[in-house]
Amino acid sequence: MGIDDVVENIKLAEKVFRSSILSTNYLKEANVISWPNYAPGIFKSLYAKEYERIIQNRQYSFLFKENLGCIQFYFYFEQGKLGKMRLCYYPYPVGINMTSDDVENQLADYNDEIIGEYYYDLYNLFSHQFELKIADNALRELMDKARQIGNFEGNESLILGRFEDKYKFTNSSHIRIDYDMNVQSHHKCEIQMGGINNIRLPMEQIISPFTFCDFIIKNIDQTKHQAILGGTAYESGLAVSKSKSVLIPSFEEKNIFLKHM
């Protein structure tokens, strides 16, 4: 799998999965495939802030529609051979149970109103005094009812309960596939969850960008994936991508490992 093969495979993924993709932002430059203004490193603090920084700085290859996250494709070649690879998916960090009309006290300095509201609620949640500072009518009603029945538990418990009721889920990390031909401390190709640094799932084959994108969309956007499943372009792309997968020489793992079929 050479550098031109990878570029063509990314273009194939862009074409086949265009119904799920909002924006593309990849480039080939000398012996590297990445994106404009590539910045290495991972922001390891609050995941919502990591995701927000990636989107604001356009540190992605594909940005998906409808708050479904983004994908990064990074490939580095040495003398025509693949030296390093990173396939990474960053899910949207938070869901909300309210409609946009119900969300109050938006913070003007955040581009994403749901994430901005999430930060604001986190600030209130972890305030050492747990004072009621938000104009949340539902929370005020809870407090009034608690006082009326003589079962007032304090602002801390009520804010915790309201926080859990308001947000329906939180994605707390990314998932990625890393390959490094020169690594000695662990397997050359592995799947890793961003939130679990010491557990890695080794792979005996290097997969293509199309295959990785197909796996992500199949799990996060099932309706659109079903719509393209069985189509000529999809089946052709899948066959080509499987043929481009690369078997890693001298792979040895007697415990859990993944094999691209």
Which has more confidence, 135 or 80? 80
pLDDT at 129: 45
Query: How far is residue 260's CA from residue 232's CA, in Å, rounded to a whole number?
Result: 22
Helix ranges restricted to H, the chain:
3-16, 47-56, 113-125, 137-148, 155-166, 209-220, 222-228, 232-243
Q: Are residues 102 and 202 in the same domain?
A: no
For the entire predicted model, the pTM comes to 0.75
Q: Are residues 203 and 87 in the same domain?
A: yes
> Which of 118, 152, 169 represents a domain boundary (last residue)?
169
Q: Are residues 230 and 151 in the same domain?
A: no
pLDDT band at 201; cut points 50, 70, 90: confident
Mean pLDDT of 96-119: 55
* Any domain includes 177: yes
> Which of 123, 146, 169 represents a domain boundary (last residue)?
169
* Any domain includes 22: yes
Q: Are residues 101 and 156 in the same domain?
A: yes
Beta bridge partners of 75: 33, 85
One DSSP character per residue, 161-182 reads: HHHHHH--EE----EEEEEETT
* Any domain includes 125: yes
Residue the block writes with tokens 């793992």: 253
Q: Are residues 37 and 134 in the same domain?
A: no
Burial class (CB in 10 A: 0-12, 13-18, 19+), 40: exposed
pLDDT at 199: 80
> Which of 169, 190, 205 represents a domain boundary (last residue)?
169
* Any domain includes 60: yes
pLDDT at 107: 37
Residue 160 has pLDDT above 90, yes or no: no
Token representation of residue 93: 């960090």
Mean pLDDT of 203-217: 93
Residue 212's φ and ψ, nearest 5 degrees, are -65, -45
Q: Are residues 36 and 138 in the same domain?
A: no
Q: How far is CA 165 from CA 60, 103, 104, 155, 160, in A?
A: 32, 13, 15, 15, 9
pLDDT at 153: 52
Query: How far is residue 47's CA from residue 69's CA, in Å, rounded to a whole number?
Result: 13
Side-chain-side CA neighbours of 55 within 13 Å: the count stands at: 23
Q: Are residues 80 and 132 in the same domain?
A: no
User: Which residues form the domain of 24?
Assistant: 3-93+172-247
* Any domain includes 256: no
When the pLDDT of each residue in the chain is averaged and rounded to a whole number, the result is 79
Q: Are residues 32 and 102 in the same domain?
A: no
Q: Are residues 176 and 88 in the same domain?
A: yes
Query: How far is residue 186's CA from residue 182's CA, in Å, rounded to a whole number?
Result: 10
pLDDT at 149: 55
What are 11-47's pLDDT values in tens digits? Answer: 999 999 999 999 999 999 999 999 999 987 666 667 8
At residue 36's C-alpha, the angle toward residues 91 and 225, to 5°, is: 35
* Any domain includes 260: no
* Any domain includes 11: yes
What are 76-93's pLDDT values in tens digits? Answer: 999 889 999 999 999 988
Q: Are residues 62 and 134 in the same domain?
A: no
When divided into structural domains, the chain yields a total of: 2
pLDDT at 124: 63
Q: CB count, 10 Å around CB of 25?
A: 16
Q: Are residues 88 and 190 in the same domain?
A: yes
Q: Are residues 40 and 113 in the same domain?
A: no
Query: How far is residue 105's CA from residue 210's CA, in Å, rounded to a whole number?
Result: 41
Side-chain-side CA neighbours of 92 within 13 Å: the count stands at: 20
Mean pLDDT of 227-233: 91
* Any domain includes 114: yes
pLDDT at 101: 44
